[in-house]
Structure 1
Amino acid sequence: MGRAVLWLLVVVLLLRGLASVMEPRRPVATAAAPKPAPPSWVDDGVRAFAADFSRAYLTYSPSDPEASATAIRAFVAPELASSVVPEYAEDAPRRAVGAVSVARVTVLDSSHALVTVAAAATGGTRYLSVPVARDSRGGLVVSDLPSLAAPPARGSTTPALTESLPASERGPIEDVVSRFLRAYLAGDAGGLTFYVSAGVRIGALGQRHELIDVTSLVLAAPAKGRTRDVLATVRAKDAATGASYGLRYRLELVREDRWLVAAVNSTKKAG
């Protein structure tokens, strides 16, 4: 009997082993390793190179079109020299470029990138995507034809939530804000010291303006302790041109023996 039970156990184990061998195996799921992003090698020199090319590319002088073409070809690889220069109509007007700035950078690999430049050109701001390559010695070249790019999408926002100043504080706060902004806009650094909190240094404008009026004064955040964050909407006039501006300042006020200004637009420096 014992020998029969032993043989029965051996048969069961053999059958289970055979079944496990015959059972189809499910493939082990493996997570794909994320592809590492190309390292960013685009420095200020690369940005300046793309900006200089954009300035040359968007500039045109009808009195000397060859000079315009030569300026463009100086940036590009030899195989692009015959195709990169824009073709203008015979009566095309002069085109000039003012300020340029880099809007965005897309790194393609360790030696190629697309640098999109915003250029204030005749007729409006143009966005130009410039393919820039770097060789083994660190030299830069425009490696392909540029492309005109769309400007950033215009966004929308909801007005910030504000609160009215407490009636008991409105008079003193409006007084110090008006006096402070009058000195601030007029460039009167010495006059500011009387309205600024101890230990804080706030500079005045470099060009003289005149405060016309404070048209609105509200809390930008709920009142807390001795501190108030206020939004002051003002009208100011440029003394040199007479131009009038609608401006809004975010002021941090602190209550000491009286209300004083601790920061303008969330910036302050220790004195």
Structure 2
Amino acid sequence: MAQPAAAPAPTAPAALQQWTDAAARLQAQTPGPARAADAAPEGAQAAPDSQVPWQIEDEKSGAKFAVKVGRGVLWGVVALAAITGIRSWIWAPAPPKPAPTKVDSGPQYPVQEAQAVAARFARSYLSWDENDPQARAAALSRDMPKGFDTTSGWNSKGRQQVVVVQPSTVSVLGDNRARVRVDVLVSGPAADPAAGADKPADKKDDAKKDDTKKQDAKPGATVTRWMGLEVPVVQASGRVVVTGQPGIVGVPGNGPSVPAVPTKSNDMEFSDKTRGVVEEFFSKYATGEPGSVAAPGASIPALPSGMTLGTIRNWTVDEGSGTDRIGTAVVSWNVGGAEIEETYRVKVTRVSSAQAERWQVSEVHGGLTP
């Protein structure tokens, strides 16, 4: 019988063969004495795993780069902490308060334009001349809507002139409408006491008789008086116009009560010491030469011509110290054939030189306001 073929020699597994081939190539590249593997005959079995010569290589992957990046980040954090302070990381500052929200309430009413229109209209409305009635109508048409009858409301009689017009408060009524108060000083003939004598007498006529007795002006004489006028206006098409006839109202006879001016303690010794300085200043004040006796650098305009000093009726200086002192001067002036009394707040300043030291006026203001 034929003998069975001999079994082939055992070979290394494929995975092991790849590693041994790689080791052989590595040894061939390394200089040195010949390796035992070079002398081994072809076909010899590879050395076992324990005899494979392995060599540690430097790591070339991204792990080493990641380590370097981590170290850089760490040192960056340390540097930032040194600059900004660790405390600011733990106790953060309070957030800033939000800015207040501005609410746009829309365009405001043109108060100044309304006052100007009402003042011009008041001058036209309270001025009349029976010899030239068209002049009044033409003046009123400037501030009234087109098509309005500017001749109504006046019987085309009499004569009156406006001397002064003073616009006052503007009361906004809504819908672009407002009411403007105007005070007007007018000049015209005095009232005739005999006017209306043919009318039936009543209680109102008796009251008018008492008022007539109080009038010093004779019939036909020219008198001046204040009149109040309230003018209705409206803003339309980019301008303010008068919407119709105004109404004459009264002018207050006196003002409201106000707080009293606080009193201050006076330095009577210093007041006596500087009285001559103040008298000299006021004597030059009206002559146009206040700078000749005022403190250096002071700018005090001269009073109008025609005024002469009467007397310094009172001069007191407030308690205090320093190189600047404030006092109150009550002065009488002769002007226009009359004597009038005025009150001033005066600042005196100490001026020193190598030869002497003196006090001079540096500021002067009218009234008692500090």
Match in the other structure for 2:347 = 252
1:157 positional shift: 4.1
Matches of 2:341 and 2:159, distance apart in 1: 35
> 2:265–2:319: 8 Å Cα contact kept in structure 1?
no
CA offsets 1:97-125 (integer angstroms, 9 cap, x no match): 01112111123346322221111113411
1:230 positional shift: 1.4
Q: Which has the higher contact order (CA 8 A, sep 6+)?
A: 1
Aligned sequence identity (%): 26
Matches of 1:261 and 1:154, distance apart in 2: 34
Matches of 2:116 and 2:109, distance apart in 1: 14
> 1:47–1:102: 8 Å Cα contact kept in structure 2?
yes
Total equivalences in the alignment: 222
Match in the other structure for 1:87 = 154
CA offsets 1:113-156 (integer angstroms, 9 cap, x no match): 222111111341112121222223x2332113312334355123
Match in the other structure for 1:185 = 286
Q: Does residue 226 of structure 1 match 2:323?
A: yes
Unpaired stretches in structure 2, ≥5 consecutive residues:
1-103, 188-223, 352-356
Match in the other structure for 1:112 = 177
Match in the other structure for 1:235 = 332
Q: Does residue 121 of structure 1 match 2:197?
A: no
Structure having the higher Rg:
2
Matches of 1:147 and 1:110, distance apart in 2: 21
Match in the other structure for 1:201 = 299
Unpaired stretches in structure 1, ≥5 consecutive residues:
1-35
Match in the other structure for 2:205 = none
What is the RMSD computed on CA atoms of the aligned residues? 3.0
Matches of 1:185 and 1:132, distance apart in 2: 46
1:213 positional shift: 0.3
Match in the other structure for 1:46 = 114
1:131 alignment partner, one of 225, 229, 232? 232
Matches of 1:127 and 1:213, distance apart in 2: 39
Which TM-score applies when normalising by structure 2?
A: 0.53
1:170 positional shift: 2.5
1:174 positional shift: 0.9
Matches of 2:255 and 2:358, distance apart in 1: 43
CA offsets 1:23-80 (integer angstroms, 9 cap, x no match): xxxxxxxxxxxxx977433254432221110001111112233432443244223565
Q: Structure 1 residues 243 and 37, CA, compared in 2 at 3 Å: closer, same or farther?
A: farther
Matches of 2:179 and 2:225, distance apart in 1: 22
SS of residue paired to 1:128:
strand
1:250 positional shift: 1.1
1:183 positional shift: 1.0
Matches of 1:164 and 1:52, distance apart in 2: 49
